[in-house]
Each structure stands twice: as C-alpha cells, then as structure tokens.
C-alpha cells in the first residue's frame, strides 16, 4: 500500500476508535492509528500490558474495531505468534481462506526490558508479524520509572536527578540495531510527525513476509514534562537533533529516510542536543550549569551514533 493523500487516509474506517482513556497529548493513539492505516487486509492485534492496553480496553468498553488480545506484559510477541500459528493450521485445514496480517504493540518496557527474550524468540522463529514499540522512553503506565530505553540524563522516579546523581547514568540500549542483528526482513525507526514515512514503513512491515519491527518515538507529556500541545513538535525535535534518526533496514540494506535523510544530505541543519534537553522538564537539571559535562557527553554520543548510521546507510 502506498500513501496517496490525507483525504484518502481520512476516508478509511478506523480500526482504533474514540473513547480510549489515554492522556491529552499522548502520542500513542496517533502512532497506532497511522500504523493501522497501512494495511487493508484483515488483522489481529496483540497488545502488551501498558498505557496503550489499559486505556483502550476498560471492560466493558473497547476502542478496538478489529480482533484484539492482551495476555500479559512480556508476551505480546508469542501471543500473536500463537494467533498466527492457529491461522496457519486452520488455513491448511481449509477452515480459513482470508489473507490476514498480525501486529503487536508494546511499550519500551515491554520491548526493551521484560519482553526482550520473547520478541527475539518470535523473530528467530520467523513469525509473520509486525512488532511496534511505542517508545516513550520509560515505564509511564506505572508512573515514569526508568527503562532500558530511557535516555541518559533523564530524570525518572527510579533514577531521579538528585544532588549527587544527574538522572539516568546509562545510555539506552540500541534496540533497533539489536533487532536488526536478527537479520529479519524489515526493521525501522519512525516518528509520528512524519506520518507519510511512518505509514510507508508500517506498510512494508505488514508485507515483509516474515517478522518486522518498528520502533516509534512516542512523546509523553507526563513523563517528559512538556506541554501536551507540543507532542508532535517533540517527536520532530528528536529527529532533527539526530537523537532519534529515521531509518530502515530492508533485507540487508540500511536506508536513511525523511528528515534524517535531508540532514545527512546537508539539506537541513542538524540541531544541537541542547535544543532537545531544553525542551523537556525531565532534562531541566542538565541545563543549569552543574551538569554541563553530561550534556556534552550526550552530544558526543549522538554524534558518534549518527556517524555510525551514516556509514551503514552508505552516506
């Protein structure tokens, strides 16, 4: 499926509808709706425990217009793997004829931390599914605790910025690259501010004919401490500062996309990381002088990772 126009997209029947109880300014429903537009095949969704799950399925209500299952925190991937196994078996027995697609949503806690092994296993087994990480860089559902995706220097409730420790001391693990190391058909990083890029990547994921992985930056006004009206701006800033490059890995080939490609080609400036740190309350302690060296180290890390990615993308 190719993205034609907003008009065409707006005429699609919504798979995920109003009535959910996510916070004002939450990026997750925006991302999910964009991704779900990327296929016109019948789908089944599995969801890890987290903000997106608890807010969309409060019994006896549901925001889901498509078949949806939540089992636990760490097992969205094998749960949809089981659905796919049933599909394959029943198709072989002639009990199903439709051509269906399977998708899992999980937060960064479910993806980087507690469900890591289960996702790796599902990808290694070659399950045909698109795994989407709604990456808001901490355990937001339980009250903003650090995860393996939390950026260096961020203050969370389990790595608070104190008088001795400047927030999280570690860099996030590079989950997208770890997933790519599985040599799967398709993996990408996306952002909701570039809906065209995100929908195209989701469409490739749905049609990957094997496991696909989409890691999407998902600004969280509560956890990041920014105004709820600035969500899309925050996502854009993550890309413009190169702390969250847009790229894809398609059957062995690395490709920069969207604003990141324009930055790589020199058509657009690469904004300093201080712009990113200044924009969110979770980093406010870093810009008050005492932890200047931390900000510099984060910039050096972003630059290093960016150069690595340019090489991989042959730019």
Interface with other proteins includes 265 (CB under 8 A)? no
Distance in angstroms (rounded) separating the CA atoms of residues 148 and 218 = 15
Residues 6+ apart with CB under 8 A from 257: 188, 197, 201, 246, 247, 248
Minimum CB distance to other proteins, residue 13 (Å): 12
Interface with other proteins includes 26 (CB under 8 A)? no
Show the tokens assigned to 69: 């299952």
Residues 6+ apart with CB under 8 A from 37: 9, 12, 199, 202
CA distances from 164 to 145, 169, 212 (A): 19, 11, 42
Interface with other proteins includes 118 (CB under 8 A)? yes
Interface with other proteins includes 59 (CB under 8 A)? yes
Distance in angstroms (rounded) separating the CA atoms of residues 124 and 55 = 31
- The smaller minimum CB distance to other proteins, of residues 70 and 226, is found at 70
Part of the chain binding other proteins (CB under 8 A), chosen from 119-127, 144-152, 232-240, 272-280: 119-127
- The smaller minimum CB distance to other proteins, of residues 105 and 244, is found at 105
CA distances from 269 to 141, 152, 262 (A): 35, 23, 9
Interface with other proteins includes 194 (CB under 8 A)? no
Question: Contacting other proteins (CB under 8 A), which of 71, 145, 274, 284?
Answer: 71
- The smaller minimum CB distance to other proteins, of residues 63 and 194, is found at 63
Interface with other proteins includes 79 (CB under 8 A)? yes
Interface with other proteins includes 215 (CB under 8 A)? no
- The smaller minimum CB distance to other proteins, of residues 40 and 265, is found at 40
Minimum CB distance to other proteins, residue 66 (Å): 5
Distance in angstroms (rounded) separating the CA atoms of residues 15 and 54 = 17
Minimum CB distance to other proteins, residue 25 (Å): 21
Q: Phi/psi class of residue 201: alpha, beta or left (left: φ > 0; alpha: ψ in -120 to 50)?
A: alpha
- The smaller minimum CB distance to other proteins, of residues 115 and 258, is found at 115
- Phi first, then psi: what are they for 36, rounded to 5°? -70, -20
Minimum CB distance to other proteins, residue 227 (Å): 28
Interface with other proteins includes 252 (CB under 8 A)? no
Q: Looking at residue 298, what DSSP letter applies?
A: H
- The smaller minimum CB distance to other proteins, of residues 17 and 315, is found at 17
Part of the chain binding other proteins (CB under 8 A), chosen from 85-93, 147-155, 170-178, 201-209: 85-93
Interface with other proteins includes 80 (CB under 8 A)? yes
Distance in angstroms (rounded) separating the CA atoms of residues 112 and 79 = 17
Give the three-class secondary structure for 157: coil
Q: Is the peptide bond before 60 cis (omega within 30 degrees of 0)?
A: yes
Do 239 and 246 touch, CB atoms closer than 8 A? yes
Question: Contacting other proteins (CB under 8 A), which of 26, 27, 32, 87?
Answer: 87
**Applying CB under 8 A, which residues contact other proteins?**
42-44, 46, 53-54, 57-60, 62, 64-72, 74-75, 77-90, 92-93, 96, 98, 100, 117-118, 120-122, 124-125
């Amino acid at each position: 499926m190719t993205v034609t126009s907003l008009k065409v997209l707006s005429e699609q029947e919504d798979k995920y509808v109003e009535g959910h109880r996510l916070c004002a300014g939450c990026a997750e429903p925006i991302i999910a709706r964009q991704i779900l537009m990327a296929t016109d095949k019948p789908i089944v969704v599995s969801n890890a425990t987290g903000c997106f799950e608890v807010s969309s399925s409060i019994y006896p209500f549901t925001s889901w217009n498509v078949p949806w299952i939540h089992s636990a925190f760490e097992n969205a991937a094998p749960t949809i793997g089981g659905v796919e196994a049933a599909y394959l078996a029943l198709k072989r027995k002639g009990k199903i004829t439709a051509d269906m697609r399977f998708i899992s949503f999980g937060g960064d806690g479910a993806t980087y931390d507690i469900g890591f092994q289960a996702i790796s296993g599902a990808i290694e087994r070659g399950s045909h599914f698109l795994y989407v990480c709604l990456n808001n860089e901490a355990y937001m559902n339980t009250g903003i605790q650090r995860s393996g995706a939390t950026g260096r220097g961020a203050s969370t409730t389990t790595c608070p910025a104190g008088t001795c420790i400047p927030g999280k001391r570690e860099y996030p693990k590079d989950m997208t690259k770890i997933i790519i190391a599985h040599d799967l058909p398709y993996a990408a990083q996306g952002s909701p501010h570039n809906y065209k890029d995100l929908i195209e990547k989701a469409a490739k994921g749905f049609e990957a004919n094997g496991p696909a992985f989409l890691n999407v930056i998902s600004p969280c006004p509560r956890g990041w401490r920014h105004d709820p009206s600035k969500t899309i701006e925050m996502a854009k800033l993550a890309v413009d500062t190169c702390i969250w490059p847009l790229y894809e890995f398609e059957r062995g080939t690395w490709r920069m996309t969207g604003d990141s490609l324009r930055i790589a080609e020199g058509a657009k400036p690469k904004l300093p990381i201080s712009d990113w740190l200044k924009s969110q309350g979770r980093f406010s302690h870093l810009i008050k002088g005492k932890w200047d060296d931390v900000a510099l180290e984060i910039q050096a890390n972003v630059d290093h990772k960016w150069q690595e990615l340019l090489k991989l993308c042959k730019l």
